[in-house]
């Protein structure tokens, strides 16, 4: 019987589900799962997860006390909601889940450290090993500095919103566990700014992740690469062999329903022999390369703003739900 592209991919790459939807996780049975504020916000508004949201809100309200404002309760609840979703996801997968630090803290190393430690503390209290959790942090210089300290404390990190080689190298030098370069968002930028049409190996996102993967393997970094943000299965096919790929349920379904041979495109052995020049990374080099790379500069800013906006939407949804719960309790008491 011919194999599907998903089966072929799994033979060489760890497949991760890019979703907060438990039904999708149960269906595709990924090794790991990753979420982001947009996915958590969408999942939190689905009826089937209403009880989970309500439980988190009740606990946050109880912990803060009767005098706490709905906004304060919502702010605490969203931090806990990501962990609650993470706990539920971990019950269905054998590997790890990524839980994200507030994107609004992306340029504040100390605040990122504080919230990352709080996330791990919550998982610790639930009896979940920190080996099963990746704290997700935006790959700003400040975020990378925070991740470096966290890794030294035994807290593993997923550095997200990676668009440039300079970000990737800084993460590897900081010995972070994993990075998430965003394939599709890079393609979006090039299509918008060049009006070009890119396919297969010519896709700028594919080229970027391939360069990062080869650099890491050439110089023996322990940091692994997880391609993310795919627009089509062609991008996934071109990155077969990457350490990990995080894929949406829609594209997982397409891979699972498509039969065919899937040749390996990325290979650590071949990367060792590539003529790649090593870059000595520090803050000055990072800033210089970041300013010179307009795509990376714009997409990192846009990504942080987008995740921050999703958190604001989630807080509004939680505050609204809190009011509804309060009104319901008042009616029940009459």
Domains, the chain, ranges and CATH?
A: 5-327 (3.20.20.70)
Mean pLDDT of 141-164: 98
Q: How many CA atoms lie within 13 A of 206 on its CB side?
A: 19
Q: What is the pLDDT of residues 57-73, one digit of tens each?
A: 888 888 888 788 877 88
Could you tell me the sign of the dihedral formed by the alpha carbons of 192, 194, 195, 201, in that order?
A: negative
pLDDT at 327: 56
Q: Which residue has the tokens 């060792």?
A: 272
* Whole-angstrom distance, CA of residue 11 vs CA of residue 272: 21
With CA atoms as reference, report the closest residue to 29 among 184, 183, 256. 256
Q: What is the pLDDT of residues 277-319, one digit of tens each?
A: 999 999 999 999 999 999 999 999 999 999 999 888 888 888 8
Question: Which of the residues 61, 136, 218, 299 is marked catalytic?
Answer: 136
Q: What percent of the chain has pLDDT over 90?
A: 70
Task: Return the structure tokens found at 239.
Answer: 């990155």
- The residues, ordered by sequence, that sit 6+ positions from 113 with a Cβ below 8 Å of its Cβ are 146, 149, 150
Torsion angles phi and psi, residue 320, rounded to 5: -65, -45
pLDDT at 329: 41
Query: 276: buried, middle or exposed (CB in 10 Å: 19+, 13-18, 0-12)?
Result: middle
Q: How many CA atoms lie within 13 A of 269 on its CB side?
A: 1
Give this prediction's pTM: 0.91
Helical axes 294-333 vs 183-194, angle rounded to 10°: 120
pLDDT at 1: 59
With CA atoms as reference, report the closest residue to 39 among 239, 244, 311. 311
> DSSP label at 66?
T
> DSSP label at 65?
-
Q: Which residue has the tokens 């209403």?
A: 50
Q: Let me know: does 138 contact 303? Beta carbons within 8 Å.
A: yes
- 136 included as an active-site residue: yes
Q: Let me know: does 169 contact 281? Beta carbons within 8 Å.
A: yes
- Whether 334 shows a pLDDT value over 60: the answer reads no
- Whether 90 shows a pLDDT value over 80: the answer reads yes
Q: What is the pLDDT of residues 174-223, one digit of tens each?
A: 999 999 999 999 999 999 999 999 999 999 999 999 999 999 999 999 99
* Per-residue pLDDT band at 331 (split at 50, 70, 90): very low
Q: Let me know: does 20 contact 42? Beta carbons within 8 Å.
A: yes
With CA atoms as reference, report the closest residue to 162 among 179, 176, 145. 179
Q: What is the pLDDT of residues 237-252, one digit of tens each?
A: 999 999 999 999 999 9
* Whole-angstrom distance, CA of residue 210 vs CA of residue 202: 11
* Whole-angstrom distance, CA of residue 16 vs CA of residue 12: 13
Q: What is the pLDDT of residues 112-123, one digit of tens each?
A: 999 999 999 999
């Amino acid at each position: 019987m011919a194999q599907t592209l998903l089966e072929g991919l799994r033979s060489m790459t760890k497949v991760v589900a890019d979703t907060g939807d438990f039904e999708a996780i149960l269906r595709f049975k990924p090794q790991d799962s990753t979420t982001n504020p947009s996915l958590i916000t969408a999942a939190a508004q689905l009826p089937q997860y209403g009880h989970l949201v309500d439980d988190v809100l009740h606990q946050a309200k109880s912990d803060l006390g009767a005098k706490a404002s709905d906004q304060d309760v919502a702010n605490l609840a969203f931090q806990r909601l990501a962990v609650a979703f993470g706990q539920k996801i971990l019950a269905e997968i054998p590997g790890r889940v990524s839980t994200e630090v507030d994107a609004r803290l992306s340029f504040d190393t100390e605040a990122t450290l504080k919230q990352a430690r709080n996330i791990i503390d919550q998982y610790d209290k639930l009896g979940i090993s920190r080996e099963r959790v990746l704290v997700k942090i935006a790959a700003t210089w400040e975020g990378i500095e925070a991740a470096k300290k966290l890794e030294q404390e035994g807290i593993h990190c997923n550095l997200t919103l990676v668009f440039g080689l300079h970000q990737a190298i800084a993460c590897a030098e900081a010995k972070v566990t994993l990075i998430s370069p965003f394939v599709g968002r890079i393609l979006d930028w090039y299509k918008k700014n060049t009006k070009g049409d890119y396919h297969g190996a010519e896709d700028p996102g594919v080229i970027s992740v391939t360069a990062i993967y080869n650099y890491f393997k050439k110089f023996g970094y322990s940091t692994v690469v997880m391609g993310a943000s795919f627009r089509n299965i062609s991008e996934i096919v071109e990155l077969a062999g990457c350490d990990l790929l995080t894929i949406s349920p829609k594209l997982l379904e397409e891979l699972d329903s498509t039969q065919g041979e899937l040749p390996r495109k990325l290979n650590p052995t071949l990367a060792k022999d590539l003529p790649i020049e090593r870059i000595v990374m520090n803050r000055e080099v990072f800033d210089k390369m970041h300013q010179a790379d307009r795509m990376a500069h714009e997409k990192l800013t846009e990504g942080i703003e987008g995740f921050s906006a999703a958190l604001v939407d989630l807080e509004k949804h939680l505050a609204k739900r809190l009011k509804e719960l309060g009104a319901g309790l008042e009616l029940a008491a009459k």
